[in-house]
Chain A
Amino acid sequence: MGKFAAWVGYLIVLLGLPQLFDSVLAITILNQMAIAIVFALSYNMLLGQGGMLSFGHAVYFGLGGFMAVHALIMIEFETVYFSITLIPLVGGLIGLVAAIFVGSFSTHKAGTVFAMISLGIGELVAASSLIFVSFFGGEAGVSADRTFGPPFFGIEFFQDVEIYYLSAGWVFVATVFMYLFTQTPAGRMANAVRDNPERAEFIGYSARRVRFISFCTSGFFAGVAGGLFALNYEFITEENLNAVTSGRVLLMAYIGGLGYFIGPIIGAVVLTLMNSLLSNYTELWMLYLGIMFVLTVLFLPRGFAGFIMIHQTAWLRGKLSSLFLPYLITGMPAIMFGGSILAAIEMLHHDGEPFGFLFITLDSGNTLHWLALTAVAAASYYACWRSLGQLNAAWEEANGVGDPTERGPG
């Protein structure tokens, strides 16, 4: 029943968010999140569950999106007649077709060979999209109008919030199906092939076919995300199928946490928020994103979801609350240290002109500011370093490490 409750909770959050945050900006961000969640989940199906590192996943997203925009144009000119609520399905089918074609030759090996083929295909498609102007519209892309289709129960999708509810529905359905996929024999075998293709072959499964199935399913859902993109923005350009978009989805899935179903959802939400909110405050948000990504790979190899999951033992032992104070003691100076580094970066960036940083005004021309910043950074670093011992002790206590009466979970 716990799982059922989680799904109901997920649906309530999806549908309730626009009630809580109803500004125009918030709805825009929510729409971006919806697209990102489906896209990142489809990527995790490849890398997290299937062990295939792809550098060209945007191809399926972009091709689906382009076809979806063309479908919208066809609806507008009444070449075809169906409700625009089905547009993501069009995107998904195109993503599936493209994935079947590419997967037929790229899935016989995982690892570096697969990664390199995906890179090559990604570059090929991105470059071709600039050459075949009649379909891809060149640099300008193609655009359409979503409001010409037959109304869906009286809704004509003039407003972004209506598109959000439509997207939320699709996100929920897509998430359910992607979760169910992980529970099917095909999904389970994908994990087996990821961990040890040789053994999987010995039990009688073709590693290549298992990868192929994951790959095609993943391409389908990437196409659905592309269709959602087309519905939301009503235009699409070459940028949506090139290496930048492929890189971004890798970032989302990795920061969120590969290997956990919920990881990519966390990654998609966090990165979309950073993308839209942080970019209002600083021009350097891409630099911070890069720093965050590298730090995540270095110190949280299983992503945010992995960080949450390592607390499971402490939680099961009922000792999670005993970690709160030690976290606070180490966390406060750590945040102070991070903040002073950020302040230094911003001071270098705003060379010579004063600017507002959180609640204070900093000026890189003022030597006193530099001295104060150095002092804060040094003090907080020292405090953080000194507090590591108590955090470590508390962690071991909460997890029963070194306690002879305790037995670990295996």
Chain B
Amino acid sequence: MSTKILVPSGVLGLGFDLEALSLGLKRKPDIICIDGGSTDSGPFYLGTGTTKYSFDSCKLEWTHLMQAREQLGVPLVIGSCGTCGTNNMVDWMYSMTTSIAKKLKQNLTIARVYCERSADDLKEALKLNKILPLDPAPVFNQKDIDSFSHIVGLAGAEPFQTALDKGADIVLAGRATDTAIISALPLMKGENPGACWHGAKIAECGAFCSSNPSSGVILLEIDKEGFTVEAMAKNAFCTPHSVSAHMLYENIDPFLLYEPGGSLNVKDAIYSSIDENKVRVTGSVWQPSSSYSIKLEGTKKAGYQTTMLAIIRENRYVTKAQQWAKKLHKLSVEKIVSIMKVSPEKFTIDVRLIGYDATLGKMEKPVNKKPLEVGVLVIITASSQEIATEMSRLLNPYLLHLPLTDKEDLPTFAFPYSPAHTERGAVFEFSLNHIQLLDNPMNGFSLKIDEVNFD
């Protein structure tokens, strides 16, 4: 006996090969699992409770997956709905699902798993010493929690298992670990727990563990001893190297993965080729922890931003751009403080030179060869949009005309568009890198089950 899991791609909205999906369906998987989000695109999405993926792409792909589910009569599961996995994004997926079900005339049991925590929940847990920092952890106190825009707990396997146990055809979960989405069913069926979590980690990005990452579709078969992984696209191959290398991906430690309820150790895992496209893995070990904990994610508003971009083409200014940028920054701060009567700690002006070190900042090496032109990106962050934009107006004449010395004509730099400033709205930062100890794996996760009948 074994459990077969079809993973169509690394995330809903990224696309997958339809032919590979149909080949995967022929293998009669027991479940179809896909991830719906990540923190990888930054704090804005959790900060605002929004998706980074296009609604139309998600809907098209979800339609294919709902048809596939209906065809096989197996559950379809998504975690971290709508990039950030907030409650409203679970409902966003729910409304998409019911609208597709109506069109396809499907009858479904749909489970929603909510993972968001309130400020009061977090305060209470903090009081009970149930919140522990990871390394490095932002520091916060009881009062700071009120400024957090959203707090989510990453669901482990249990909330998915509860939903499946209740007969859900479709599970729409909020924020969850990428692996829990996949490991839930095989764990329920008593497969080897090390293989469940390790297989889930290998398959969580879809075909990233193969020679053709963009093909998407992966079949994972987990049993009592280990797991087998196989790419479904005709031009994608899984090799011991491609599979074991994926364990390193986005993971601090190549051998250890912490999950709710324990950790996965793959130090002694053995990866062997079964044929040119299939890899068998054994020897992965699940080490249950003495207490059950989940990871928390949170964001808070960092201010409102207005940006400006100018381009320097004149050779002398290109050569001395770093010196010029320092002068620009100094004069801008002085002018803003003096005219707007704002103290310097109430705003930030970040001047980045594209062509020098705009990507890597202080880690960048000294520039040997000067670039042809330099982009000057000015990022202003203040307590309101109006203030940030007013600051950009004060700074505008410097960005356009600031000379290197007082003994020369005013230069004029290129502004690529008008208006020169761009309002970016509210910006956010991650405010938590903590775990929460739970007495019960379902604490803080709530389930809503609906029957929809459109046939």
The yes or no verdict on A and B being binding partners is no
